[in-house]
Amino acid sequence: MTEIVTRSIDPSETRAPHAGSSPGYATSLRMAAICIALLFINVFSQIDRILPFILAEKIKADLSLTDTQMGMLTGLAFAVCYALLSLPLARAADRGSPRLVLVSCILVWSVMTTLGGFAASFMFLALTRFGVAFGKAGAVPAGHALIGRKIGQERRGLAIGLFAMGIPLGTMAGFAAGGAIADVFGWRIVLVGAGAIGILIGLLTILVAGPTPPLPTTAPRNEPFLRTSLELLSSPAFRWLFAGAIFLGFAGAPFYAFSIPFLIRTYGFTATEVGISFGMLQGLMGIVGTLGGGRWFDHAVRSGTGRVLGPPAILFLIASATTTAALFAPAGWMSIALFVPGMLSFSFMLPWGFGAAHLIAGQGRQAQATSLVMIGSGLLGPALGPLIVGIVSDAASAADISNGLGLGLLIVPFSAVLAGVALLIANQRIGVLLRQPRPQTAVAG
């Protein structure tokens, strides 16, 4: 006989604080310092991840690599590490010290990035990229666990949004600085420098984060991470959120992989023109989406309705329509403008998706919930979505059908619709849980 703990959402987790219970100045200052530190961590996490994309041609020429080898360096390592390591590292962050897990992950990926600058062969460089992926597999879940322990629920959406804002900022900084520095000093200096800065940030995080508060006595303890994962996935609310994350991966990965080639091939833009217009808009929408989404999520939580996924679901449905129109727009500027809601929807979703996952999971499971959402969005979609687009595009070209890449990219709005529908269902399920809370019960199995 085994005992399975069935957890429903405690309404106190979504209730706004009473008047007069707002944190004091010192506490607010500490929370701000933690949020800023997490922002910098995510910025350099994203920089270290995308550097091989920026430096690909220089690395290929220097080490005599093939495109297949470069694909393994940039994609396979992260997929494997997320699949195998994200959940155990998230579990360690939930049960132990998220600060220790986070700092360890930062140091691992930073040291490995630095070592990549000394690579003289494909095998050595591949091992360093697996090390980078190892560190990143636990960084975001550990950061969310730290937010769960340190930041009150009334500000948690904003904290998650600030943390997520590191992705667009890191992307812009990495593309701009990485390419420029590599042109002057070479790709090896870029990797060594980025890794060294990451090591410094990791050491400073130890001081900024401070001791981690213990888990509440009501938090689940000593549960195997696989059992907890299955228990979370057995919740209809979390299961539909997880499905939405999978569809999000099928929409987002092809969008970012092929939007720029589509604009260049279809409308005759130069790489510089598209890089400036599309890249700047993507960065701006990333900042607006993560910050605005975080604040809006906090407001939705304080409202007490439990409807904490409706706005991103609706935005995905809108983005589906505008992205479809963008693929057949008569002018290039119009296509770029119609892509903007799609850019916004992906970043806007981050604080809502992770915040809702934390609400469902409860204290002591935030990192694991984050890990599952990351696995949902980061495995199947990125692995299969761009491949499907390429197959459709090649088949259309072979059949002399124009706009073959645009036809392949229709997977983006199609997946966005499915993501929106899944999130609307999850939104309803979470609302039911919040309106009809049940105490923790033990069910004999």
What digits encode the pLDDT tens for the residues 376-422?
Answer: 888 888 878 888 888 888 888 888 888 888 999 999 999 999 999 99
The better pLDDT of the pair 169, 316 is held by 316
Categorize the per-residue pLDDT at 426 as very low, low, confident or very high, splitting at 50, 70 and 90: very high
Q: State how far the Cα of 249 lies from the Cα of 418, in Å rounded to an integer.
A: 11
Cβ pair 415, 247 in contact under 8 A: yes
Other Cβ atoms closer than 10 A to 413: 23
**Ranges 39-53, 90-104, 213-227, 399-413: which has the least confidence:** 213-227
Categorize the per-residue pLDDT at 221 as very low, low, confident or very high, splitting at 50, 70 and 90: low
Question: Coil, helix or strand for 5?
Answer: strand
Q: State how far the Cα of 383 lies from the Cα of 395, in Å rounded to an integer.
A: 19
- Candidates 196, 202, 86, 93; CA nearest to 137 is 86
Cβ pair 345, 285 in contact under 8 A: no
Choose the CATH number for 3-444 among 1.20.1250.20, 3.90.1410.10, 3.40.1410.10, 3.10.129.10. 1.20.1250.20
The better pLDDT of the pair 323, 367 is held by 323
Q: Which residues contact 398 (CB under 8 A, 6 or more apart)?
A: none
Q: What is the pLDDT of residues 330-352, one digit of tens each?
A: 999 999 999 999 999 999 999 99
Domain boundaries, the chain: 3-444
Q: Which residues contact 431 (CB under 8 A, 6 or more apart)?
A: 305, 306, 307
CA dihedral 421, 424, 425, 430 (to 10 degrees): 160
Tokens of 249: 């991966």
What per-residue confidence (pLDDT) applies to 50? 78
Q: Mean of the pLDDT values across residues 119-132? A: 90
Q: What is the pLDDT of residues 222-236, one digit of tens each?
A: 566 677 788 889 999
Question: Coil, helix or strand for 89?
Answer: helix
Q: State how far the Cα of 386 lies from the Cα of 136, in Å rounded to an integer.
A: 22
Q: Mean of the pLDDT values across residues 112-119? A: 94
Using CA atoms, how far residue 100 sits from 210, 215, 423, in Å, is: 10, 15, 33
Pairing mode, if any, of strands 441-444 and 3-6? antiparallel
User: pTM (2 decimals)?
Assistant: 0.75
The structure tokens 């900024």 sit at 208
N residues, the chain: 445
pLDDT at 22 over 70: no
Cβ pair 353, 297 in contact under 8 A: no
For residue 436, which phi and psi values (nearest 5 degrees)? -125, 70
Cβ pair 6, 235 in contact under 8 A: no
Q: Which residues contact 177 (CB under 8 A, 6 or more apart)?
A: none
Cβ pair 251, 389 in contact under 8 A: no
Other Cβ atoms closer than 10 A to 378: 22
